[in-house]
Amino acid sequence: MAKIVFAAGVPHAPAIVGQFDHAPDEVKAVVTDTFEAVKQQMYAARPDVLIVFANDHLANSRVRSYPDFLIGTAREHRGPHSWFKPWIGCRDYVAKGNPDVAKALFRGMTHRGIRMTAKAENLNFDDNISVPVVMTDLDQSEIGLVPVLQNCTVPPYPDQYHCYAVGKALGDFVRNDLPADLRVGLIGSGGLSHEPGGARYYKIDQEFDRAFLQLTTQGDHDTLLKEMTPERMDTAGMGGTAEILAWYPIMGAIGECTGEDFGYSGWPNFRCGIGGVIWDLSTSKQHQH
Amino acid sequence: MGWEKFDPNLVSNDLVQDLKWDEQLRELFKQNERAVLDQYDLLPEERAAIEARDFRKLYDLGIHPYLGGQLSRFIWGNEAGKSAVEAANNLVASLTGQTPNISKT
């Protein structure tokens, strides 16, 4: 029985890398405190493999044939994609992959009735994977990355209930399909509120973001699933906010856990609400849902 | 603005994705936008909207907003904190009914 040893939800707005130096100190502190905590606690947990669910920003598939969950099974993962480099302004990286776990995940989810798609080629990564990789120096580690690019933005995309059910299957897969001594980390990458390409490009819904962080740190999944609907996410920023749905597979996998956030920023120049959560796995009420 | 206008059939969605994926096409778009647009089976009003930088019209025709935002970067620039800001400002101006800056192509 493999074990989930670390679980977090993180933001991935490119500006927290490319525009970090221009941010006020209190905003910088939110970014630094969040990712330093993720980095410190993730490495302390000694995962062998890190499965990252993250919104695919239409970088890998046509909108008319768009997979809901695309697993990268490559031996190594290179990024960021060339088009995105000036936008994010981060270093090039090569993160170690884990094809065995990636393929087992594809197989395991298929057997559990969850339709996923897999590709052995290097996926096109933008901020979705690049920000968590460079902010945690994952590419400097021996941890194997398994990216799962999620459809959070091409209608009809999987809603909160489906994403949570994917998470329950993910937890079952980790516990029953992976080698007994394997240590697994999970990260959901995305959010918080933003509207990329929309008329409210600079609008951030701080009230929504704070409510979301509160519900995720409280570990009240019934309320979270009931209240944080895709419609409410779109009201808080269409086409962007719903990428917090990438946190739901993680929460579904670990069950109800309390967690800790590391502050919140709604600085407009980041064009995205910024906040992250690390869940305390010792508080899990795994089988309630 | 909601998802009711989004049309996955709209060819502009393919154009923007191709620009993301093909560096040579990106370069050609900068040098000779008309030559790139000629390669796509765009609706007359769709092409006119791209040429007029009328993002409101493009959104009404069905472009995905995220790809609309990226089209603005192909037109005005993609550099963090610099040309990308101009792209965002011009995009928002178009979507909110102001006149976008169409001087740069």
B79/A58 touch (CB, cutoff 8 Å), yes or no: no
The ranges assigned to domains in chain B are 8-95
Q: How far apart are CA A138 and CA A266, in angstroms?
A: 27
Report how far Cα A152 is from the mean position of its chain's Cα atoms: 11
Contact A199 B1 (CB under 8 A): yes
Confidence at residue B99, expressed as pLDDT on a 0 to 100 scale: 62
Q: Which of A83, A131, A243 to mutate to test the interface with B (most CBs of B within 10 A)?
A: A83
Give me the long-range contacts of B31-34 (CB less than 8 A, separation at least 24).
Answer: B33/B105
Q: Which CATH number fits domain A3-283: 3.40.50.2300, 1.25.50.10, 3.20.20.70, 3.40.830.10?
A: 3.40.830.10
Q: In whole angstroms, what separates CA A76 from the centre of its chain?
A: 19
Q: Please state, in angstroms and rounded to a whole number, the distance separating the CA atoms of residues A120 and A139.
A: 19
Residue A218 CA: distances (Å) to CA of A53, A203, A257, A260: 21, 26, 7, 9
Q: How confident is the model at residue B104 (pLDDT cuts 50, 70, 90)?
A: very low
Q: What is the mean pLDDT of chain B?
A: 90
pLDDT at B41: 98
Q: Does CATH place domain B8-95 in 1.10.700.10?
A: yes
CB A197, CB B91: distance < 8 Å: yes
Burial group, residue A63, by CB count within 10 angstroms (0-12, 13-18, 19+): buried
pLDDT in tens, chain A (289 residues): 899 999 999 999 988 998 899 999 999 999 999 999 999 999 999 999 999 999 999 999 999 999 999 999 999 999 999 988 888 889 999 999 999 999 999 999 999 999 999 999 999 999 999 999 999 999 999 999 999 999 999 999 999 999 999 999 999 999 999 999 999 999 999 999 999 888 888 889 999 999 999 999 999 999 999 999 999 999 999 999 999 999 999 999 999 999 999 999 999 989 999 999 999 999 987 644 4
CA distance A88 to A210: 25
Q: Do A153 and B96 touch (CB under 8 A)?
A: no
> For B20-66, what is each residue's pLDDT tens digit?
999 999 999 999 999 999 999 999 999 999 999 999 999 999 999 99
> pLDDT value at position A289?
42
* CA dist A281 → A133, A160, A204, A256 (Å): 22, 21, 30, 9
* Interface predicted TM-score of the whole assembly (ipTM), two decimals: 0.90
Q: Which residues of A78-110 are buried (b: 16+ CB within 10 A; e: fewer)?
A: ebbbebbbbbbbbeebebbbbbebbebbbebbe
Whether residue A124 and residue B21 make contact (CB cut-off 8 A), yes or no, is yes
A23 phi and psi, to 5 degrees?
-80, 150
Q: How far apart are CA A241 and CA A209, in angstroms?
A: 9
Q: Do A239 and B66 touch (CB under 8 A)?
A: yes
User: Any idea which residue has 């579904």 for tokens?
Assistant: A252
Q: Which of A4, A6, A10 is nearest to A246 (CA)?
A: A10
Q: Which residues of chain B are at the A interface, by a Cβ-Cβ cutoff of 8 Å?
A: 1-3, 6, 8-9, 13-14, 17, 19-21, 23, 26, 64-70, 72-73, 78-81, 84, 88, 91-92, 95-96
Of B6, B67, B70, the CB nearest to A155: B6
How many beta-carbon pairs under 8 angstroms link A with B? 89
Bigger pLDDT: B9 or B101? B9
